[in-house]
Amino acid sequence: IIIASTSAVYRMACMTSVQRRNIVVLGKTGSGKSTVANRILGKEVFKAKRSLDSVTKEPRQEEAELIVGDVQYKFNLIDTVGLFAPSDSRTNEEIVREAKTFFRSHNIKELNIILFVFKDGRFTDEEKRAFDDIIRHFKKNEIWNISALVVTCCENVDEQERKAMKEDLEKNTRTKGFCEVMHKGIFPVGFPPLQIQSQAIYANLVERDTETLRELIRRSDRQLLRDDILTDSVWEYLQRKCNIL
């Protein structure tokens, strides 16, 4: 125990920097948001299942530490409630407003990256509406600089097909405008159900896709102030001012 503790102290002393990353995951119910969040953190902290109903009932944040070389990264990840959940009586507008309230009440003042998650390349009317409902609450000129698109359920899609998928998303008139504003890029990933992730056919793929997302986050060192990218309705503004007063 003493040796391990000493080693840990020595390792921390050798760190040249500690860098924090605030990450937000957004998307429609069943898109795989919570699975993406769990893979990034390296632990199963958010409930996740492939379902049309949302298992995330309110925004939550979890933290994880990652050491790469002589840098210690602290990931603070916020998993939000999925939009269009059949059993949820809240509107998309109400769900996004709750997320904004969560940012403020938990003193999350800066954001490094926003991951928009949707399922295996099919950009449906619901995806478009979910996207529109989300961005209505952000200042568009700012949010795009820290936004990336994560396309899930690509575990059976090889590299050539993934490349073709990205090209199609970028050219298709239905998705072109959406992809153009994802300044951090488009990332197809494959995270199959937990019970089969350890199978040899998937294990390497899962690790590779996980590292791709973690590297994206590590490189996202620019922070935007929360209040510089969130917009307020008149009612939200008055409510916030009253709370302050």
State the burial class of residue 231 (Cβ atoms within 10 Å of its Cβ: 0-12, 13-18, 19+). Answer: middle
Q: What is the pLDDT of residues 87-125, one digit of tens each?
A: 667 777 788 788 878 888 888 888 899 999 988 866 777
Whole-angstrom distance, CA of residue 82 vs CA of residue 42? 21
**DSSP sequence for 51-85:** -SS-S--S-EEEEEEEEETTEEEEEEEEEPPPBS-
Q: What is the pLDDT of residues 148-178, one digit of tens each?
A: 999 999 998 999 999 999 999 999 888 888 8
pTM of the model: 0.81
State the burial class of residue 98 (Cβ atoms within 10 Å of its Cβ: 0-12, 13-18, 19+). Answer: middle
Share of the chain above pLDDT 70, in %: 78
Token pair of 16 as six digits:
């040249």
Per the prediction, the chain carries an average pLDDT of 80
Amino acid at 169: L
